[in-house]
Amino acid sequence: MTIRLRKACLALTLAINGVACETALCAPSPEEALKLAPVQKDADYDKPGAADTAKCSIKAEKFSGKTGWIVRDAAGQILRNFLDTNGDNVVDQWSYYKAGIEVYRDVDTNFNGKADQCRWLNVGGTRWGVDKNEDGQIEAWKVISAEEVSAEVVAAIATQDTHRFERLLATPNEINSLGIESQRSKELLTKVASAAADFAKLAREKKLLTPDSKWVYFGGGRPGLVPASGDGTADLVVYENVSAMIDTGGKNGQVEIGTFVRIGDTWRLTDVPAALTGAQGFTFFGAAEKSEEVAGTGSAAPSEDMLKLLKELEDIDKAMATASAPEQLMKLNARRADLVEKLAHDADTPEDQETWYRDLGDTVLAAVQTGTYPEGVERLERVAKELAENGRPEAASIVQFRLTKAKYFVAQQGGDNFAQVQERWLKDLEQFVSDHPTSADAADAMMELATAHEFAGSDAKALKWYAEIAKSFPKSPVLATAKGAQTRLESVGKQLNIVGKKFGVTGNTGLSNPAYKGKVVLLHYWSSDVNVCRAEIPQLQDMQAKYAKSGFAILSVSLDRDPKALQEYLSTKKLPWETIYEPGGITGRLATEMGIHTVPTMLLLDKQGRVINRGIHAAELDSELRKLLMTEPRQANRP
């Protein structure tokens, strides 16, 4: 079991004393294998010293069904994995590890001996870059988070690298796909068109940063949402007033960047960084207040103490990503909560304080739910009480809402009577809404109340809370879902106008498609990665085969988050009906316009296109279709 390593790949693979393993059946030595470095220089991976390298081993092994050269340290922990993925006996994937976890990977997808993609994985991040001309320079990002975009901007400014900056900008095609109104789209296209040239000029002139400047932390509040226009486009998620905290030779600073927009799996820049222009760039939500400027940074800089806290917080987050022992996770969660509480207390503005308290509430709640911070409930109780007593109602409401959810989770796990737990949960939510009626979290509490009543069959109460969201929180991110749920709950006897992009082919389809005219139609919301949905597919195929000639049709709406997972599933199943798909999953337009909370959800429509059952189950279909297709359509009824 030997893998050849082509001499043509010396930039990526191994040369063994000047002779590549192309004709000889030989294994490279650990020393030679460990000399290989990632194409992208900023990958952070284990690099053992000479003494440790001498204790390493290399062996051809099976890895995830493929064969590769695996390099391990003296303890057997993996350091490198050079894999042959297509079985041609040549390495085409080079993986690098840190603490036994893969953090970076170079990939040769066209099997010509040169990497054309690079990926940061697990604790290494989420970036996925494409190097089309295989020159070691990334041309475009397939995946990149907002935090990673801010770090890339800092690196581009520090090194005056216009190419690195330019590949972060939204492209004209991406902007045109957003569906924003015409004037704003033109403005954004104009900004992006000149951004690269402006960046090159301003970066040379201002020289805000030096090559030694390092990104430390992402600065940004909560993202905002630009609702879909209703023409088939999806909701738009936006970060405004993003900044990055930096360190330059031990001196702390903050760089204002501007507005980010999420397009698919990437976050994109919309303009030249505000720190270079001295003015606010493109904005979706109107002008924001300008922070006090500090020479050499473009904005108010955090204190040295705050930078130290942020650095320790970053270290803890990295440690938590690799920790597995419960005792270690409990200590890390407790220390993280200490740091965030300190950052919240010391923040300069109420907005920043509330951002940190939200981080505290969210992370402590998550730790309580995973059982890695048993004292989390007590922590949230204390903080919420202190904030209320100190006249900080908005911050108190943020923590109180997370506390309410944490208590509900603990009660569920404690073996209490389910009906009593649900009753107490609803009362706690109603009390929260009563105590904090203008809190941003009140809309989420109302949504929890609405969905709980809906699942319990109390439609009138559910509709009351959905309507209250629309009345009291017209700008809330949950508004679209609330209005969609109202539409769905009141849909029986009405016609629907569902339209979207056909998956795998060009064009749109929907209930208005002539193919569905005069047929009984099952509108099927599902996701290929949900076991219950997958289990029901054979039943739906049976119904399609049995009743298609009698006038039955199925229209699926996929709420998959990953289109590749959907494609992989459909490539094996070959469903005999159309599937609509758009990005966003359960939070995307296709889900929110009907208020879909869970999958599968199925609505049955009669031959006139009217909903006759808005919550039918697969097991009920045969009986319902027999009635509908063998006799005259019955009167609209509720499920």
Angle between the 326-346 and 376-389 helix axes, to the nearest 10 degrees?
Answer: 10
> For the segment 571-605, what is each residue's pLDDT rounded down to a tens digit?
988 899 999 998 888 888 899 999 999 999 999 99
Q: Is the pLDDT of residue 293 over 90?
A: no
Question: Residue range 29-45: average pLDDT?
Answer: 92
Residue 110 corresponds to which amino acid?
A: N
Residues 6+ apart with CB under 8 A from 489: 454, 459, 462, 463, 466, 595, 614
Q: What's the average model confidence in pLDDT over 476-487?
A: 92
* Structural contact between residues 150 and 257, judged by C-beta atoms closer than 8 angstroms: yes
List of residues 6+ apart from 460 with CB closer than 8 A: none
Residues 441 and 484 placed together within one structural domain of the fold: yes
319 with 401, same domain: the answer is yes
pLDDT at 520: 97
Mean pLDDT over residues 485-499, rounded?
Answer: 96
- The answer to whether 510 and 497 have CB atoms below 8 angstroms apart is yes
Highest mean pLDDT of the ranges 5-9, 117-121, 274-278, 563-567: 117-121
pLDDT digits (tens, 9 = 90+) for 336-348: 999 999 999 988 7
Considering the domain boundaries, does residue 195 fall inside one? no
Predicted local distance difference test score (pLDDT) of residue 201 = 85
* Residue that finishes a domain, picked among 459, 489, 519: 489
Q: For residues 633 and 480, what is the distance between their CA atoms, to the nearest angstrom? A: 32
DSSP single-letter state for residue 122: G
Does a structural domain hold residue 94?
Answer: yes
For residues 37 and 91, state if they share a domain: yes
Task: Write out pLDDT tens, residues 121-159.
Answer: 998 999 999 998 898 999 999 999 999 999 999 999 999
Lowest mean pLDDT of 58-72, 73-87, 439-453, 603-617, name the range: 58-72
Q: What is the pLDDT of residue 330?
A: 94
Separation of alpha carbons 590 and 502, rounded Å: 12
The confidence score (pLDDT) of residue 22 equals: 39
Q: 319 and 227 in one domain?
A: no
370: domain CATH number is 1.25.40.10
* pLDDT value for 224: 85
> How much is the pLDDT for 264?
87
pLDDT at position 229 is 62
In a domain, 294, yes or no: no
> When comparing pLDDT for 359 and 205, which is higher?
359
**Helices 304-322 and 326-346: crossing angle, nearest 10°?**
160
- For 461, the domain range is 304-489
Q: List b or e across 487-521, with b for residues whose CB sees 16 or more CB atoms inside 10 angstroms.
A: bbbebbeeebebbbbebeeeeebbbeeeebeebbb
- The 10 Å CB-count burial string (b at 16+, else e) for 210-241 is eeebebbbbbbeebebbbbeeeebbbbbbbbb
Provide the mean pLDDT of the chain.
86
Helices and strands of the chain, counted as H and E runs: 20, 20
Do 339 and 385 lie in one domain? The reply is yes
pLDDT confidence of residue 20: 37
Report d(CA 99, CA 45) in Å as an integer: 8
> Which of 327, 341, 359, 31 is CA-nearest to residue 219?
359
What domain count does the chain have? 4
For residue 441, is it within any domain? yes
pLDDT attached to residue 26:
59
For residue 281, the tally of other CB atoms under 10 A from its CB is: 19
Distance separating alpha carbons of residues 424 and 415, to the nearest angstrom: 14
Give the model confidence (pLDDT) of 75-100 as tens digits.
999 999 999 998 888 899 999 999 89
pLDDT in tens, 215-235: 988 887 778 888 776 555 677
CA distance 193 to 200: 13
The answer to whether the beta carbons of residues 498 and 511 sit under 8 Å apart is yes
CB 387 within 8 A of CB 353: no
Predicted local distance difference test score (pLDDT) of residue 322: 79
> Residue for token digits 């893969």?
102
Are 253 and 273 found together in one domain? yes
Considering the domain architecture, whether residues 483 and 520 belong to the same structural domain is answered as no
Contacts of 259 (CB under 8 A, 6+ apart): 238, 239, 240, 241, 242, 269, 270, 271, 281, 282, 283, 284
Does 156 reside within a domain?
Answer: no
3-state helix, strand, coil in the chain (%, to 5): 45, 20, 35
Per-residue pLDDT at 194: 83
More confident residue, 291 or 109: 109
pLDDT of amino acid 198: 86
State the pLDDT at residue 301.
55
Task: Find the mean pLDDT for residues 409-429.
Answer: 90
Of the candidate ranges 35-44, 302-311, 355-364, 396-405, the one whose mean pLDDT is the lowest: 302-311
Indicate which CATH number applies to the domain containing 618: 3.40.30.10
How far is it, in rounded angstroms, from Cα 245 to Cα 42?
18
Tell which of 489, 516, 550 closes a domain: 489
CB 138 within 8 A of CB 231: no
Please check the confidence at residue 507 and state whether its pLDDT lies above 90: no
Residues 433 and 483 in one domain: yes
Rounded CA-CA distance 571/609 in Å is 30
Predicted structure pTM score: 0.62
**pLDDT per residue as tens digits for the range 538-572:** 999 999 999 999 999 999 999 998 888 899 999 98
Q: Is the dihedral of CA 103, 104, 110, 112 positive or negative?
A: negative
Please name the residues in contact with 485: beta carbons below 8 A apart, sequence gap of 6 or more. 450, 451, 454, 462, 466, 594, 595, 597
The identity of residue 370, as a single letter, is T
Q: Do 12 and 130 lie in a common domain? A: yes
Residues 328 and 446 in one domain: yes
Return the pLDDT at 28: 84
Residues 327 and 464 in one domain: yes
Q: Determine the pLDDT at residue 298.
A: 41
Residue 157 lies in a domain: no
E strand intervals along 408-515: 499-501, 508-510
- When pLDDT is cut at 50, 70 and 90, the band that residue 286 belongs to is low
Q: Is residue 604 part of a domain?
A: yes
Task: Compute the average pLDDT of residues 325-354.
Answer: 90
What pLDDT is recorded for position 233?
A: 60
Same domain, 604 and 563: yes
Q: Is residue 283 assigned to a domain?
A: no
The candidate with the shortest Cα–Cα distance to 544, out of 619, 613, 483, 621, is 621
